[in-house]
Structure formats: C-alpha cells, structure tokens
Structure 1
Amino acid sequence: MGQIGKPLEGVYVRLGELSGNYHVRNKQMAELILGGDCVSQGYINLPDKADNFYTDGGIRWFHTGDAVIMHQDGSCELIDHKSDIIKLENGKCVPLGKLESIYRMSEYVDNIYLHGNEGGKFLVSILIPDKDYISGLALSFGLSITSFSQIYTELTIKTAVADLIAKHAKSCKLSAHEIPAAVMLVDHEWTIGSGLLTTNHQLKRSLVHEKYEAEIAFLYEELSKSQNNNDTKREITVIAGE
C-alpha cells in the first residue's frame, strides 16, 4: 500500500467508479483499470475471471480490483483492494487489508484479521500474538506458561495486549475508528498448508472470516453488552479464544 508512481510509457489508466462513494483524506477513491499491450488476454484456466478483461478502442483493459487515489501529478496511491474497504456508520472509510499490514509491523503480532460491517460502528479482530513476545511478557509478570490458550486468559496479559494495540495505533497515527474495539487472542497458526495464506503469505480474508464467523459474532455481542450497560469508554476489549 502507498505510492505506486506514474504509469510507464505505453500503459494507459482509467479510473472506475467504486460503489459507496468512498473517500479517504477528503479525496475520491476509484478502481485502477490498466490498459495497453502489456495486458494479457486473461487468466489461464480461470474463466470466471474473464469479466476482469475487456477491449475498448482497440486497447485491452484490466480491472485490477485495487482502490487508488490519483494525484494531480498523475501518480497513483494504492489504498487497498476494493473488496477490503468498508464504510462505517460515521461515514469513515476503513481499508481493512492496509490496517492489517500496519498492525503486523508490531513485534507482539504474529498475524491479525480485522473485520468490520458495512455501516457498522466498530472493528473487531482475531489476533495471533507473537509467542516469543508473549512468553517474555508473561515472565515479566511472574506467570508460568502451561499453554498459550491458558496464558491468554490472564487479566494482566489481556490488559497488556490492549495497551500495546493502543500504543501501536497511536505511533502509526491511526484514527479511533481504525482501532479494533474488541480483540480475540487465539493460539492458532495461519499457514499456506492450512489454506488461510496464499503462496506469497497474504491472508485469504474470506476464508479466515468463514473460519472465525462465530468468534466474530461473539465479539460484537460483547460490545453490544457493554453499550447496553452504558459503558461509554472506548477501551479495547480483549478476550481469550479457545
């Protein structure tokens, strides 16, 4: 994510409309569509992706599926995959994939999945902590580790993780709506072999969501309870998963 520069010679650019009228930093986002002789005829053995390619004016075009901002100098800024961008109740657009990459930069995170509902209030997340970091944290609190599932239930660990998330978000200058309101810690591994990562170690977000659909629903239920109890504080709720 970030600046991807200007098109090379012989590469044409069109901007496709994104449903939802998405903006970031008061700038209109659009789908990046590339054209030119560099565009292939299509994907091999993927006929369901044929609609991503078309010919117009004698030029082959390709829908990249990426949301970008076009700057006045002709350069593009990649925001996220268009399928990974949502708009919250407050009208703020959230690039979920981009935020995940920001949180993964933290030393306490092994991997993370962020979820938000279109038109919803909050983000929630499924978090796989870095075990070496958590081990050191537990030792600093004088806790013995029988299993990571057990250590995630400790209040001191959950409080520390909430603090780490808040500090990392602040250091990265994230806004309040870009911080998950509820986090579930899980002692799992997301690998290529498990089918949850691509061969270049990108998260298969739809499959992760399918795997943790019940846990995500539970996180929102917990947030709903705190709202019903008139808990107006925006502290991060951390829950140990099974």
Structure 2
Amino acid sequence: MSMKETLLGYGLPGAGVLDAIVFKKLKDATGGRLRIAFNGGGPISIDTVKFISYAITPMIQGYGLTETSAMGAIQDPLEWTPYSLGDIPGCVEVKLVDFPDAGYYSTNDPPQGEIWIKGDAVTEGYWQNEKETKEAITEDGWFMTGDIGEFDKNGHLRIVDRKKNLVKTLNGEYIAIEKLESTYRSSPLIANICCYAQQDKAKPIAIVVPAEGPLQKLASQNGIKESSLETLVHDEKLNGVVLREVQKAGKDGGLQGIEIIDGIVLADEEWTPQNGFLTPAQKLQRKMIQEKYKNEIKKAYGD
C-alpha cells in the first residue's frame, strides 16, 4: 500500500501491477468491478479512506447538510486526495467565518473558521420555526453550519471541528470531540466510540462499543478467561488493558497530551438506531449515550 501510494503520488507507473498481483483478492471480494466508492454520511478516518482507495477502489467524499440540499463540497475523482472533501459546487458559495474562542481565523495558514454556505440550494428557513431560522440563517441568506473547516492549498474544503463538539477543559484549552473519535477508531478494539469531556476535568474519557473478536483475543493474551462480551466489558483488569491500547492508538494518531483519554467505559450492547443510540444516518445520539452510562462515566473520572 505504501508503494502504491508513492507511485500514484509521483505519477509513476506500476500501480496496475500491484492491483493485479497484491490486491486482486480484495477487489474480487467486492465483485471485481467496483470503480468508485463514495462517503458522505459522516466523518471517516484517513487510514480507512486510504485502505479502501489503495487496496480496492478510489473512495471520494462529499459534504453537505439537509439545509443545503446536500451541497457543500464534492471531490473530483481526477483530483483525489484522502485529506479533503473536495471543491465547492457551482450552486453555492462557501466562506469561513472567524471563531476566536478556539483560535480559528480566516487569516490563519491555512484559512480556518466556521463554514457558512449561501446559494439557491440553501433553505430559506425552518418550517414554522422563526426562532431556529434566525439562529441558523443570516438576514442576507448565509446558513451557519456549525462546522469548522479550512481550505487547503488547492482551495478544497476540509472539516476540522464542529462548534458544538468543541469542549473547553479544566486547563482552558479546547478539544475537538469528533476529531478524537475519528483518530481512536483506528484501534481494532473499537466498533464504535463516543468521547466525552467536562469543563471541570483536564482530559476526556471514551465510551466504547468494543469489537468482540479483538476484545476476546486481548483478554486471552492477558490471562483473562475468554467469556461473553457482556462479562468481559465489566472486567476491571481488561478495562485497564483496553484503556492503554486505545491511548496508544491516540498517541500513534498524533493526538496531543490533553486529547489522550484518561478513562474508558466499555458498553455491553451495540449502538443502533433501533435502541436509540444512533440516528438513522448512523450518527451518535450523544445525550442518550451519556445518560445511559452516566454512572460509569463518573467512575471512569474517579468520582
């Protein structure tokens, strides 16, 4: 994969040979004729984008909201990169507005700020809800997304944060919850994760739905008798081992000291739209998750 990334990055021949010899079985597992994959439902880790793109087929990404008719940014397959969401569609305008509290300014290098979108694709307001409309849409028609973005050197948009998921911790610094979750998901132990931070605590913790196979393997490696997932998640020794493994994934992913989780809660059930922990679009229902595990969160913080 590293060799293919290098060849494609420098426009050198040879990637097709790797596809035919090294990656053929992976391609065949998806039918063998897959030409392109698309992600637009939510954030996805760069490592996942790279793996799918180099081993199977190019994965392009897009960005938009219901209020903008899904318009925001879209990747051109001929300008593919795993690091951005692509160029701005012709039907909308996008600008970045300063968010001083967290140090995001349009004068930064690269330019950063809250993403505002305007154009024919953008809604005029929420149905019979003037209060929400005034809070989200300016008088001259700009929709304030709440997402923090930046423009790369090619003018392509990249999401770096979300205002409502920026939490100021005890030391006065902001941490980006979704960024942490995206990084920690690189751990094979994690099937799903919800990071949580409090203003009176120095570091975040994580509520994790563990991947059963890797969790049982880790338990066996540490002398913990293999058992059901429901039993393993309550084993204090295993919790400590998992915490260290997830912390390592965060450090390997480039997270700073204040972004490394200080505690972990292992969930004993899968999160689905049916049990209320995910939206139909597979996004976290944070309030529901935090309410469900409020006692475990206190324990993880040592309260």
Q: Which residue of 1 aligns with 2:124?
A: 41
Code of the aligned partner of 2:96: L
Higher mean C-alpha displacement, 156-165 vs 21-30: 21-30
Residue 53 of structure 1 corresponds to: 137
The one-letter code matched in structure 1 to 2:117 is L
Check the 8 A contact 1:196/1:207 in 2, yes or no: yes
Question: Aligned in 2, Cα 1:155/1:216: closer, same or farther, shift over 3 Å?
Answer: closer
The one-letter code matched in structure 2 to 1:53 is I
* Distance apart, 1:181 and its partner CA: 0.5
Instruction: Report the counterpart of residue 265 of structure 2 in structure 1.
Output: 184
Q: 1:3 aligns with which of 84, 87, 98?
A: 84
CA distance in 2, matches of 1:72, 1:151: 47
| Kept in 2: contact 1:22–1:93 (CA 8 A) | no
- Shift, 1:15, TM fit: 3.1
Q: Name whichever of 65-74 and 91-100 sits farther off.
A: 65-74
More deviation, 145-154/108-117: 145-154
**CA 132–46 in structure 1, closer or farther in 2 if over 3 Å, else same:** farther
1:38 aligns to what SS in structure 2? coil
Q: CA deviation at 1:146?
A: 4.1
Q: Distance in 1 between matches of 2:218 and 2:169?
A: 34
2:84 is paired with a residue of what secondary structure?
strand
CA positional deviation for 1:78 = 0.9
Partner Cα separation in structure 2 for residue 48 and residue 196 of structure 1 = 28
Query: Does the alignment pair 1:206 with 2:290?
Result: no
In proportion to residue count, which structure has more strand?
1
Amino acid at match of 1:143: I
Provide the identity percentage: 27
The answer (yes or no) to whether the contact 2:251–2:260 under 8 Å persists in 1 is no
> Which letter does structure 2 place at the counterpart of 1:88?
T
Name the structure 2 match of 1:231: none
Q: Per-residue displacement from partner, 1:171-196 (whole Å, max 9, x unpaired)?
A: 21111211110112221221100111
Structure 1: where are the runs of 5+ without partners?
A: 223-242
Gap change, CA 1:19 and 1:172, over 3 Å in 2: same
Cα distance change of structure 1 residues 214 and 28 upon mapping to structure 2, 3 Å threshold: farther
Aligned 8 A contact 2:98 2:114 in 1: yes
Query: Aligned residue for 2:52?
Result: none
Q: Assess, with a 3 A threshold, how the Cα gap between structure 1 residues 19 and 217 changes in structure 2: closer, same or farther.
A: farther
Are residue 170 (structure 1) and residue 251 (structure 2) matched?
yes
Rounded Cα–Cα distance in structure 2 between residues aligned with 1:29 and 1:105: 26
The reply on whether 1:143 has 2:143 as its aligned counterpart is no
Per the alignment, in what secondary structure is the counterpart of residue 4 of structure 1? coil
**Is the counterpart of residue 67 in structure 1 residue 148 in structure 2?**
yes
Contact 1:11–1:36 (Cα < 8 Å) also in 2:
yes
Structure 1 residue matching 2:170: 3-state secondary structure: coil
Which of residues 108, 111, 114 is equivalent to 2:192? 111
One of 150, 153, 175 as aligned partner of 1:94: 175
Q: CA deviation at 1:67?
A: 1.2
Number of residues of Structure 1 aligned to a counterpart in Structure 2: 219
- Report the equivalent of 1:215: 296
AA matched with 2:275: S
Per the normalisation by structure 2, the TM-score is: 0.62
Q: Which residue of 1 aligns with 2:162?
A: 81
Worse-superposed segment, 170-179 or 8-17: 8-17
Q: In the TM superposition, what whole-angstrom CA distance separates every residue of 1:129-163 from its partner, at most 9, and x where no partner exists?
A: 11111122233345334443432344552343123
Q: Which moved more, 1:194-203 or 1:92-101?
A: 92-101
* More moved, 24-33 vs 91-100: 24-33
